[in-house]
Amino acid sequence: MYHSERERNIAAEKMDTNDTSTSTGSIIQSGAQTAISRAQTRPYYDPNSFNIGLAYSSVFNPEKGVIDNNGFSIASKLSIVKKNSNSGSNVKDLFVKGRRSSSGGTDGRQGAILWDDFINFNKWERTIKQIVRNLFNVYFNHFIQQPFEVAKIIMQVIDPSIPPSSSSTKPITMSDNEDDISETEDIDYFPVKKVESSIDNEGENQTVVPSDHTAIIINPNLISPASLKTMDILNVLIDKEGLKGLWRANHTTFILNFLGVSINSWLVSLLSSLVSNYFFSSPHSSISTSLPLALPITSSFKSLILINLTAAILTNLVLIPMDLIKLRLIVTSTMESSNKRRSLRRLITKWSWRNDGPNLPISIWFNSILKSIVTVTFGTNFDILIYSKFNLDKFTNWKIFYSFKFISKCVELFIKLPIETILRRSQLNYLLNYQNNLQIQEAEQNQSLIIKPNLSTNFSKQLWNGWKISLISLCCGYGFRMLNKIDDDLKLELEKF
């Protein structure tokens, strides 16, 4: 029992001092134990003498933190940036002040760091090189796939009832039988066809071609492959037009794919911002109740599904003219006589939504929407589904993830292929038989159309034409991803070692 308040305070201070010393001693002891355990685990490693070398740009030191090759830590670099920001040029000070005023803060270090990043030419060089490298890789993959894409589209729209073209010349045969040739017979190496004519019966020997045959126009560019196999179609295209026939509509397809990815990404970002700003912030407001799209949204999972569906449908509907131009360029000849009509710029400027949009048949609208739904359901929405239900993505367990993706793509192939075939035939019917600015005129059909079109939309096995080349493409893509991921894991294991 304490006799005064002063004695009570002195006793409390002693107790705090003992507790502090005890805690400090425990921390030192735990640190020493950690150091001893680390030394026992890797006795060959010394943080103070470890040579980073050229393999690593930085290394972690338990006492100094993350340090670079020169021994500077992150804190020292930040102090250098702070020191340089105080002694900058007038332009730099103006930039910092502008950033400070726009952000509403008084600290100019953030603006200085952003300015240093902006004028860092090494970062700009790395960024530009990465963009060029990615663009080259994407275009190279597209360049390899384009001939097979052309063959698949021709399989979907060609009429297989046309027999393959046969040459009228007899083949040359080599024979060792010389009995048929007389030894005394002279061989005429320069035969001359003699025409016997008489003046008396000149009018009687004249023949007149019937008028019905004069109206027949033979299309010299029409192809008739031996079968609907990929190699037969590629061979007949090479025979007719050379190698350039394999890469027909090459740039148009690349631009179409690029616009599809860009517009879809932009729409997803736009719809996501609208949903987050209006639907979830005020679920009982007049805005959310007036829009029917807000009714099924009860969670973030359902909102992502709906956003991806909406963005994919709108993207495909916007790109209908580009898809029509792509099909037109594939089914028409690439010969020089028709090159003036094979201009993407000329064709896209002829299209008018006001005049040509209302004339689009319902089958094109319906099948475009149906194709978008199937594609996004087995694509992006499938990734969201397995992540939300099984917490599975390509970073946690890439083997199972890519295996699930391969199965979903196979199911998507056999569901989407007949829809895509009907869509192609509907588009070709629109280009041939409907009045529009992209129409293939009758005179042009007789001169530049390379196929006899098949416009039937009846249910048959021909709706799955091109499934083999599509399945081979899926298998090759799956194998490439697996091998590439295994190679990345081996590199990571080597770095860890």
Contact (Cβ atoms closer than 8 angstroms) between residue 372 and residue 339: no
The phi-psi region of residue 160 (left if phi > 0; otherwise alpha if psi is between -120 and 50; otherwise beta) is alpha
pLDDT value at residue 86: 52
61: closest CA among 92, 40, 38? 38
- 3-class SS of residue 44: coil
Hey, what domains does the chain have and what are their CATH numbers? 51-76 (no CATH), 234-496 (1.50.40)
CA pseudo-torsion sign 120, 122, 126, 131? positive
pLDDT value at residue 298: 41
Cα distance from N-terminal residue to C-terminal residue, the chain: 64
Q: Tell me the CA distances in angstroms from 344 to 147, 313, 341, 392, 461, one per residue in order.
A: 19, 24, 9, 43, 34
Angle CA(314)–CA(320)–CA(321) in degrees, nearest 5? Answer: 135
Contact (Cβ atoms closer than 8 angstroms) between residue 272 and residue 307: yes
Write the DSSP string, 302-343: HHHHHHHHHHHHHHHHHTHHHHHHHHHHHHB--SGGGGGG--
Residue with tokens 């893509």: 477
Retrieve residue 98's tokens. Answer: 């502008």
pLDDT value at residue 96: 45
Contact (Cβ atoms closer than 8 angstroms) between residue 394 and residue 402: yes
Cα 47 vs. chain centroid, distance in angstroms?
46
Backbone angles phi, psi at 262, to 5 degrees: -65, -50
**Tens-digit pLDDT string for the chain (497 aa):** 545 555 666 656 555 555 555 554 554 455 555 555 555 556 666 666 666 655 566 777 777 777 776 777 766 666 555 555 454 444 445 444 444 444 444 444 444 556 666 777 888 888 899 999 999 999 999 999 999 999 999 999 998 876 555 443 344 455 555 555 455 556 666 655 554 444 444 444 444 444 444 445 677 788 889 888 999 999 999 998 889 889 999 999 999 999 999 999 999 999 988 887 655 444 443 333 333 333 333 457 788 899 999 999 999 999 999 999 999 999 998 875 555 667 888 899 999 999 898 889 999 999 999 999 999 999 999 998 898 888 888 888 888 888 999 999 999 999 999 999 999 999 999 999 998 889 888 877 778 889 999 898 888 888 999 899 999 989 988 888 888 776 555 555 544 44
pLDDT value at residue 459: 87
